[in-house]
Structure 1
Amino acid sequence: MLKINIIAGARPNFMKIAPIIKAIKKARSVGEKIDFRLVHTGQHYDKKMSGSFFEQLGIPEPHANLEAGGGSQAEQTANIMVRFEKELQENPADVVLVVGDVTSTMACSITAKKLNVEVVHVEAGIRSGDLSMPEEINRMVTDSISDHFFTTSEIANENLRKAGIAEERIHFVGNTMIDTLLSNMKNFIDPQIKVDGKALEDKNYFVLTLHRPANVDEEEKLKEMMQAIIDGTGNLPVIFPVHPRTAKILKNLGIEHHDLHYVEPLSYLEFNYLVQNAKAVITDSGGITEETTVMGVPCMTLRDNTERPETITMGTNELVGTEPEKLKPYLEKLMVGEWKQGGKIPLWDGKTSERIIERLIDIYQTIEVRLDA
């Protein structure tokens, strides 16, 4: 029996592991000897991650919640490692599967390797080249000690090859986030947002998300960026899902406008309904750029680098930068209908998780045969 310990620490992690769990259950239903234990490190508390969140995405309640949230980066890493060590000792696994690039990904990888448990990294090999991002450190450390690497793109494969990873340990499978997106598109929920008492018109509004320090920590720069967004969006509504506390800060800075609409954070199904029907998305998120590419929605990324360059070279995304004046030409191009179309990215087809589980079973059986011999 192949026992897989699946780690999730933040909301995006759960969206990435949902289809993996589904693929495990499917494999088990046809007689494969495979089982899993879902461990929530508790890194982030998110009120949107209620029972309905798990139900909507087909995720079982976690077998364990380490409740290791809060504190500084170092404190959180240490708490996760101490609690996960105990969890793994009490519930041994053959493989620890980590996804993405949050603190839990790195902390649980280190803990597993020190207990001589094999680690597989889903979404391995992506790089921004920006060491000021905690996520970049998490990616690099996790990839330096993992045993197998499941990748989303040929660019990620090449990053791993340059790091000296043997070809047989690199498995190009696609993107589990897209598995979740494609399987849930039929279930998207209209969040019923109204502007001046009227429902939003399809392809006639913008969606905005901002959270990175480079964009929100400097007050004057934030004001300038918001003004650039308001000036360039042609009096169309700009819907900004933002935490109420952050919205209050923005309002205290005087960042208010008739066309700018702060709304509370939305559920996964509501947010992606909003994105799917938007004219365009302006964001500093990485994951959203993947979803906009698959849904064919124009996207502008307010960052100086990206760990997902395929969304630019093959998708609908453009890397704008963090200087407010750089946004104007991109918005002008969009407003006159000259945005690029984008295309399909290889293996972003909704079947990534099945490929991951098939490959894991194959790897495990090969190891088992070798040990028996």
Structure 2
Amino acid sequence: MDFAFDARTEELRGRLLAFMDEHVYPTERVAHEQRAALASPWDTVPVMEELKAEARRQGLWNLFLPESPYGAGLTNLQYAPLAEIMGRSPQLAPTATNCAAPDTGNMEVLAQFGDEQQKKQWLEPLLAGEIRSAFAMTEPEVASSDATNITTHIRREGDEYVLTGRKWYISGAMHPDCRIFIVMGKTDPDGADIRRQQSMVLVPRDTPGVRVERAMRVFGYEDEYHGGHAEVFFDDARVPVTNLIGEEGGGFAIAQARLGPGRIHHCMRLIGMAERAIELMCRRAVSRDAFGKPLAEQGVVQNWIADARVAVEQLRLLVLKTAWMMDTVGNRGAHTEIQAIKIATPRTVVGILDRAIQLYGAGGVSQDFPLAELYAAARTLMIADGPDEVHQRSLARRELKQY
């Protein structure tokens, strides 16, 4: 395994680091101030459009799609350090570069499984940043940690599919530019194979019968920059059968294909969050005195910083190994590693952010520093894309099977 950055990665890293220093970090406070003045919290802050235009001008756009005619064509290993950099400002940088979830995962689904009409109608405007999208899978009335539990019904009537169901925490659905949902439901609820009961269909947001009921908060945050999270009802919403993605019964497999890259992208960005936390810890430690000496000279603070550095270096190597395996043996071959990083990374980064918040005291839980919001995002990823316990169960079964 060789994790050294190649020439293209180094060149993109240099450009992206400069973009962050010159445009993203100075804009964070401006964006918060602009958001407070918006008529709706879901509207795009004006400065975001400026960031997107600058990112496109610099060629820092759609970096996430590997081996695709639609994206930058980077491998997972090449993209990993770039996603990490973007994770240092997760509210602005991923969106500014058109590399934000859930649009990235939806674009990957359309690129891999969509037909030519679906790509033209939905993928191309998503790649251009002209529209946003949402992925509707999680449901409030069942344990969504087991995706076979979903109850949303997709029944065929002639040349149409009719959708009935309730979803929640549908990321991106509150954004005014959200135009399309990818909805997972059951087309064959009584089928013998519980992993062939589900299908995915494209449902335009303005379809009669689609009702975005309310925004769902995350630890009290609206998560406006990512288009929020919504509760959505499908009341006999009708779409043409041509809106089916792939084949009937293929929804579960498509979901797994979507979630593999999504999980590693989250972990890449989480490492960036941890690096931002370490930087903030160090700046705080050398600038504040307590009990007659700088915080940086307090043994407990030194331990926190040292432990954080060790943990981040370990996580980065595991994520890079996972990216390398996904590139060389495919997502299925890297299943164990994907689950390992999904377990280890959010848990560890939450601990680092917790120490950083402690070091900042009241400031750590305030809106004046990014730590509280970063903590909420990291803690949520112990649930999103499959809770830790599900990945632990699956990984343990794979280990035990050898014996």
Same fold (TM over 0.5): no
What TM-score comes out, normalization by structure 2 length?
0.28
What TM-score comes out, normalization by structure 1 length?
0.30
- Comparing both structures, which one devotes a greater share of its residues to helix? 2
